[in-house]
Amino acid sequence: MHYSTAFSDALLAIACLACALALGKQRSRTAEDQRPRLFCMQIGFALPMAAAMAGALRFGLVPDLRELHEWLSRASSLLGFPLLGLAALSLGRKWHWSGPTWGRLLMGLCAFFELFRQMNLLDEYSQGLQIGSLLLVLYSGILQWPERFPVLLASAVAGLFVFAGLVIGTEGVIGPLLRIDLFHALLAVAYPLLAWLLMRLADQESPAKAL
């Protein structure tokens, strides 16, 4: 049992749950034709929440949940985070995509996942997808210039994810702390900042023609 990791996973799960609930409140007061995007954004936060909950149980109580935890973590990386990147792009560009369009994007992500799995290139695909999603988030903030706050938010989100993934990682220790615990702690900050950015962009969005 790794109780510190169970705790850090639980912290991440709570952070993502708060994001999903905040989006749910926003969705309830949003026009019907704008709800598919918010629903996909909720999926984007629900998947890392589920993965973190499974991790908390795996490291704290039920070690047999390893396979489920790894599957949910992969789904979060290959489906959840790209959905958030696409949502950031549509909000930053003020593109209003219809429900069927979001459905096609969702199915496309699933299809590419299976394609690259069959090609044994899943790790490379995952890395490229993560980088692309972060660039979309950063781009959505830059589009708001000369308003500085969205740029700062987007930069903070991208910086935290990059620092967590490339500098901290999930293997080994830093002094008395496990790297994976620091990784979870950084994501527990990054995800709420991302939710804040997306909701701010949604509040600023003007009506646009559905694609």
Average pLDDT over residues 182-201: 96
Do 5 and 52 touch, CB atoms closer than 8 A?
no
Looking up tokens 């409140």 gives 25
- Please return the burial class of 95, using the count of CB atoms within 10 Å of its CB with bins 0-12, 13-18 and 19+: middle
For the domain made up of 3-204, the CATH class stated in words is mainly alpha
pLDDT, tens digit (0-9, with 9 covering 90-100), for 105-151: 999 999 998 899 899 998 899 999 999 999 999 999 999 999 999 99
Looking up tokens 């609930």 gives 21
C-alpha to C-alpha distance for 182 and 103, rounded to whole angstroms? 35
Average pLDDT over residues 146-169: 95
Mean pLDDT, the chain, whole residue set: 91
Q: Which of 72, 75, 15 is nearest to 196 (CA)?
A: 15
H/E stretch holding 173 reads strand 173-174
pLDDT, tens digit (0-9, with 9 covering 90-100), for 8-61: 999 999 999 999 999 988 877 777 777 899 999 999 999 999 999 999 999 988
Of the CA atoms within 13 Å of residue 147, those in its CB half-sphere come to: 13
pLDDT at 132: 96
Sign of CA dihedral 20, 21, 26, 29: positive
- What type of residue is 139? Y
132-151 as b/e: b if 16+ CB within 10 A: ebbebbbbbbebbeeeeebb
H/E stretch holding 168 reads none
Boundaries of every domain in the chain: 3-204
Q: Which of 176, 157, 154 is nearest to 165 (CA)?
A: 157
pLDDT at 32: 76
pTM, two decimals, is: 0.92
**Residue 209 predicted with pLDDT over 60:** no
